[in-house]
A = this chain, B = another copy of it.
Amino acid sequence: MKTNPGRFFEDFRLGETIRHATPRTVTVGDVALYTGLYGPRFAVQSSDAFARAFGYPRSPLDDLLTFHMVFGKTVPDVSLNALANLGYAEGGFRRPVYPGETLSTVSEVIGLKESSNRQTGVVYVRSVGSDERGETVLSYCRWVLVRKRDPEAAIAEEHVPSLAKVVDPQDLAGALPKLSAAAYDTELAGSPHRFADYAVGEKIDHVDGMTVEEAEHQIATRLFQNTAKVHFDGLAAKDTRFGRRLIYGGHVISLARALSFNGLANVFALAGINAGRHVGPLFAGDTVYAWSEVLACAEIGRDDVGLLRLRMVATKNQPCGTFPDRVGEGYDPAVILDLDYWAFVPK
């Protein structure tokens, strides 16, 4: 058979390495489309002149564009038969990516755990995105719930990996070139608030909302060469429990990140992903809002930038003035994303 049916749970082997298909040269075309789809306004990624004054050779890609490009390649091999994307951990953006670079992805299977009903299992992978010289630009772990082809199939070896709850910020300090905090123009950047202006426990409602259309998430998800059919096949979707196309979870992350400019305008680059969970599904016609909480402020031995640990919560169809959050064991029903990440802020 020449078509890819996708791997089922029993097809994965602990420790195996999967070299994913379709390397991708990222371009200013991808950047423009990313801007049109999400509307980010971070000055470093928007202006070559601003980026150069600050210390970059030119504007780097939005880190989430890099993330989606690296992630998309894993879908045909890892999650074509997934029922749910359960979580992320140990994410690290190793260096800025620039237009013209070519990204490819390799994943290692670091964990396998069959469900008690033997219908499904959890697959843990560590995915590494590299440039054309093989240098790592991004790595992260994610785990997904994958169907078994045959409930009776035996699993060769199981293992639940022990993943860090939080990425050590010192490990992320080297991701950026030497920058100049003094050359960072806060007026052009849209906010006066620098590293020292954020305090642990501070919550910020990002105010604005964005209604999502089918065409938008489909264009985005194809741009990332993510092939999960739940996002594209509206006819097949009628027979699912949702009855319609499900929006790629990464679309929510990018929307929330773009909305977070209003309050976090100087949080100019992502550094690490500590944890992430797609709490609920998003559908076309829904409106996304977001709020953030400062979880930690870390000095990393640099005089240009510090790291903020932020929690970004996205909701659908409910503004975030009341900071919809966890409720008991679960979440407020409006919450769709809970992402815990490290990001750089100028001093």
Contact = CB atoms under 8 A, between A and B. Distances in A.
Contacts of A43: 21-23
Contacts of A234: 209, 211, 285, 287
A93 B27 CA distance: 25
Interface stretch (A107-115, A156-164, A223-231, A304-312): A223-231
A83 interface: no
A187 B46 contact: no
A30 interface: yes
Contact of A2 (B22, B204, B245): B204
B232 A210 contact: yes
A187 to B, nearest CB: 5
Interface residues of A, number: 77
B32 A263 contact: no
Given A29-B30, A36-B222, A265 B209 contact: no
A306 to B, nearest CB: 16
Contact of A3 (B187, B188, B205, B285): B205
Contacts of A104: 47, 188
Interface stretch (A168-176, A212-220, A271-279, A295-303): A212-220
> Which of A4, A42, A263 has the most B CB atoms < 10 Å from its CB?
A4
A193 to B, nearest CB: 6
A333 B206 CA distance: 38
A208 B233 contact: yes
Interface string A230-266: 0011111000000001000000000000000011110
Given A39-B223, A49-B102, 10 more contacts: A2-B191, A22-B189, A25-B49, A27-B29, A28-B29, A32-B32, A32-B33, A33-B36, A36-B219, A234-B285
26 contacts: A2-B204, A2-B264, A4-B191, A21-B43, A21-B187, A21-B191, A22-B46, A23-B49, A25-B47, A29-B29, A29-B30, A29-B33, A32-B33, A36-B223, A38-B222, A47-B102, A47-B104, A48-B102, A50-B102, A209-B229, A209-B235, A211-B233, A219-B219, A227-B262, A234-B285, A235-B287
